[in-house]
Each structure stands twice: as C-alpha cells, then as structure tokens.
C-alpha cells in the first residue's frame, strides 16, 4: 500500500497541471468575449471560473472530458452513431481481426526465417523496410487499393492493423525459436528426433515467453493501426477523432482519445493475463 502515495501524487499533479493549462489556454476567449460586449475587464477569479465549462474550449478541463466520456459511453443507446460504445466496438473488432491476422503472419514468417537462410535474407529486409513507411501516409493508399478490390471497411482496417502488428511478432518469434541452447538441440539429436519433434517439443515451447512479449507490443500496435485506418472511414474511434476536429469539438476528441488509451491498456492487460496463465501452466512462472 506504500505505492498508493506516489501513484496518487503523480495523478494529482497531472490533474493540477491540466486545470492550470485549461485556464491559461481558455482565458483569451473570455477576455475576447468581455471586450466584444464592452464590459469591464473581468477579475482573474471570474476568468478562471469562465474557463471551466466552455462549449468549445481550446483545452477541455478534466471534468468536462470525463463527463463527456461517461455521457457518450453510458448516456446514449449503444446503437446511436454518437455512442462511444458503438465506435469503440467498431475499432475493437478491426483491431482484433487485424491482430489475429498480423500475429499469424508474423509467426509463419518467423518460422520460415528460422528454418531457411534464403528466406531470412529475402524476407527480413522487407519486413524491416515495411516499418519505415509512416502508416499515416500508407493508410489512405491502402484504403484506395482495398476499396478497388471490393474489401469491406472492416477488412481494410484489419489489413492496416496487421501491417503494424506482424513486425514485433516476427522479431520476437525469430529470437524465441532460436533461443534453445546447443545442448538442448544436441539432446534431441541423440534421440534421432525428426525435425517436427524439434519444432513442436523444443523450439515452439522455448519461444513462448518471447511470443507473449511480442503480443503485448503487437496488440497495442494493432489498435493504433485500426484508429489510423478509421481516419478514412465513417465509424470507429478514429472517425470520431476526425469528426471532432472538423467541428471543433475538442471535448469529443479528448473523450475519444481517453477511450482509445483505456482500450489499449485493457488489451495489453488481457494479453498479460493470458501470458501468466499459459506460462504458469507450462511451469515457467515461479
């Protein structure tokens, strides 16, 4: 329980800084309004009060963001186009589909790279190069291509998610599949073990800790990919972010951002929980 003090102090500091910044950034509008109405210059405490609940603040205050988050999550029917639950579901479905595709591709590529020298030399440079391209630049072009071949928005999103999430899985799994020691490989050779046995009984189990480390990075990357893909779509947290910025709805943007962060945290935590369970069953957690 000792850790509660530092956790709370950091949280309180962030909130304090946020409120201070909101006052500072939203104040010009208050002065502006007063000048237009040809009123006397408001006193500082009046200005501060007037920055707390503006309709279109430059920086919405924490309580505005939280209440918008709660309102659009719980206050609206799930089927409403304004419900964050609806948008979050659209994003999550794309994220998970893309994550499964990316992880599968990543594992398959890693197996190929570990077992074939020529595949290592021909595929790995492309995998690395693929991550050099900024996804924000690539996503619209991919969307056009996917649309041309008749893919649904979900599929487009999943492809972009997969594009971001396969890479950490490739890197982690290559390392993991190569992690058995020489002695462990020699042991199987003394049994004249066929290649399949070496893979299933040694390489794959050895790679599990590496796999889960990659999965945690990959699932967060998938979420980023889905949100970026939605900047070109009608629904999802990404679309919601973009609509918010079109109409100057800063509170809506921040609420969507918060929900994205919460989603990412939940997904990574879920992956961590599965990791602990699997490794415990394998006797690798102590």
Partner 1 sequence: MKDTLNPSPVIQARDLQLVFSTNDGPVQALKDVNLTINKGEFVSFIGPSGCGKTTFLRAIAALETPTGGSLTVNGMTPDEARRKRAYGYVFQAAGLYPWRTIAGNVRLPLEIMGFSKAEQNERVSRVLELVELSGFGKKFPWQLSGGMQQRASIARALAFDADILLMDEPFGALDEIVRDRLNEEVLKLWARTGKTIGFVTHSIPEAVYLSTKIVVMSPRPGRITDIIDSPLPRERPLDIRDSKEFIEVSHRVREGLRAGHSDV
Binding site for partner 1 (CB under 8 A): 181, 183-184, 186-194, 197, 201-202, 205, 208, 282-284, 286
**Nearest-approach distance from CB 218 to partner 1, in angstroms:** 22
Measured CA distances, 282 to 89, 122, 170, 178 (Å) = 33, 34, 22, 19
Contacts by residues 256-262 (CB-CB < 8 Å, ≥ 24 positions apart): 256/84, 256/87, 258/65, 258/69, 259/69, 259/73, 259/84, 259/88, 260/91, 260/223, 260/227
Whichever of 12 and 285 has its CB closer to partner 1, that residue is: 285
**Least distance in angstroms from the C-beta of 194 to partner 1:** 8
Q: Provide the H-helix boundaries in 43-83.
A: 44-50, 62-74
Among residues 188 and 257, whose Cβ is nearest to partner 1? 188
- DSSP codes joined into one string, 85-150: HHHHHHHHHHHHHHHHHHHHHHHHHHHHHHH-HHHHHHHHHHHHHHTTS-HHHHHHHHHHHHHHTT
Cα distances from 130 to residues 2, 33, 209, in angstroms, run: 45, 50, 25
Q: First CA to last CA across the chain, in angstroms?
A: 23
- For residue 208, the minimal CB distance to partner 1 (Å) is 8
Quick one: 7 or 183, whose CB is closer to partner 1?
183
8 A C-beta contact, residue 163 and residue 135: yes
Nearer residue to partner 1 within complex by CB, 3 or 190: 190
Integer Cα distance of 91 and 219 in angstroms: 13
Spell out the residues 6+ positions from residue 38 whose beta carbon is closer than 8 angstroms to its own. Answer: none
Choice between 73 and 206, CB closer to partner 1:
206
- Return the number of the residue (147 or 201) whose C-beta is nearest partner 1: 201
Distances (CA, A) of 159 to 90, 93, 94, 149, 196: 15, 12, 9, 13, 31
- Closest separation between CB of residue 68 and partner 1, Å? 48
Nearer to partner 1, 112 or 180 (CB): 180
Of residues 62 and 205, the one with the C-beta less far from partner 1 = 205
What is the closest distance, in whole angstroms, from the C-beta atom of residue 275 to partner 1 in the complex?
14
């Amino acid at each position: 329980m000792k850790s509660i003090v530092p956790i709370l102090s950091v949280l309180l500091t962030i909130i304090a800084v946020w409120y201070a910044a909101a006052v500072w950034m939203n104040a010009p509008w208050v002065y502006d309004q007063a000048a237009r109405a040809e009123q006397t210059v408001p006193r500082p405490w009046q200005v501060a009060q007037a920055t707390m609940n503006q309709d279109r603040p430059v920086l919405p205050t924490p309580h505005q963001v939280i209440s918008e988050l709660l309102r659009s999550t719980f206050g609206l029917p799930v089927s409403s186009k304004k419900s964050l639950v609806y948008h979050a579901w659209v994003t999550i479905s794309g994220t998970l589909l893309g994550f499964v595709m990316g992880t599968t591709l990543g594992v398959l590529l890693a197996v190929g790279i570990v077992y074939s020298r020529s595949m290592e030399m021909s595929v790995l440079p492309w995998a690395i190069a693929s991550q050099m391209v900024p996804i924000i630049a690539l996503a619209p072009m991919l969307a056009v291509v996917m649309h041309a071949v008749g893919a649904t928005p979900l599929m487009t999103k999943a492809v972009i998610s997969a594009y971001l999430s396969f890479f950490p899985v490739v890197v982690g799994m290559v390392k993991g599949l190569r992690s058995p020691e020489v002695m462990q490989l020699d042991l199987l050779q003394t049994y004249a073990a066929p290649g399949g046995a070496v893979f299933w009984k040694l390489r794959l189990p050895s790679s599990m800790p590496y796999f889960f480390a990659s999965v945690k990075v990959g699932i967060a990357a998938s979420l980023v990919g889905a949100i970026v893909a939605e900047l070109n779509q009608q629904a999802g947290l990404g679309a919601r972010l973009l609509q918010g910025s079109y109409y100057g709805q800063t509170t809506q943007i921040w609420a969507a951002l918060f929900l994205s962060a919460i989603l990412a945290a939940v997904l990574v935590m879920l992956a961590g929980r599965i990791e602990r369970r699997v490794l415990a069953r394998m006797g690798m957690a102590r």
